[in-house]
Amino acid sequence: MNEQELIATITEYFKLNIFDNHLKASISIHTKLKTYKINPIIVKYLSKILENDFTAIGVAKALYYPRVLGTSISTIFGSRIQNMFVDIGLANGSLIKGMDIEFIDKLDDRKKWCQLKAGPNTINSEDVSPLIRKFTDTINLARTNSAFRNINNTDFIVGVIYGQSEELSMHYRTINKIHPVYIGNEFWFRLTGYEHFYTNLVSDLHDLILRLDSNNVISSGIELLASEISNSHLFTFDNP
């Protein structure tokens, strides 16, 4: 595929497997009260903040907003993005434990074993040492196999899907001293061989998003969840 065809393929993948799945889950799953673990004190407080009262709608918003606008889309993005690279043929799933994908770097023509991360602030300080140790142990083990005798630290990388190098957290910068952390444009350049692929992809994704029909999913979802909450024995409202 040429660059534009590849961008079109990825854009369609995002629509079908990330955006559409998120919209469906927002109605079919996240409107069900049984899918939530409820802190009765916090949810009452949040309802007061949102609606200036303790109401079914207030509780629904307190539960629904963070789920649908936060954890749900992040989970779908994280679970599908790794599959996407394999599904469309940009990379292979890695046979090495701890690595997500393997691909031939289009800039240096060396095979790369890559652990994928979503964005520039997606690891904590306690993640750094275990990640470096995992890479080191994997390299040492691989070198016992003659087929991997020429591998080095720069062949084991962290690929960050979106963002700019200046946005990388100090935790990523620490890793980058030993193993390359490629983010945004550089990661996609090495993966696809197209220098401005990331910028062009983001532009096409933005266009797609603006064309999406969200079908008032948020307001519909909150109404459905509020209806369950109104009929639940878990809550007693003075003004339901």
pLDDT tens across the length of the chain (240 residues): 899 999 999 999 999 999 999 999 999 999 999 999 999 999 999 999 999 999 999 999 999 999 999 999 988 998 899 899 999 999 999 888 778 999 999 999 999 999 999 999 988 899 899 889 888 888 887 777 766 778 888 999 999 999 999 999 999 999 999 999 999 999 999 999 999 999 999 999 999 999 998 889 999 999 999 999 999 998 988 754
Instruction: Please state the domain extents for the chain.
Output: 3-230
Which residues lie closer than 8 Å to 59 by C-beta, 6 or more apart? 43, 44, 46, 47, 226, 229, 235
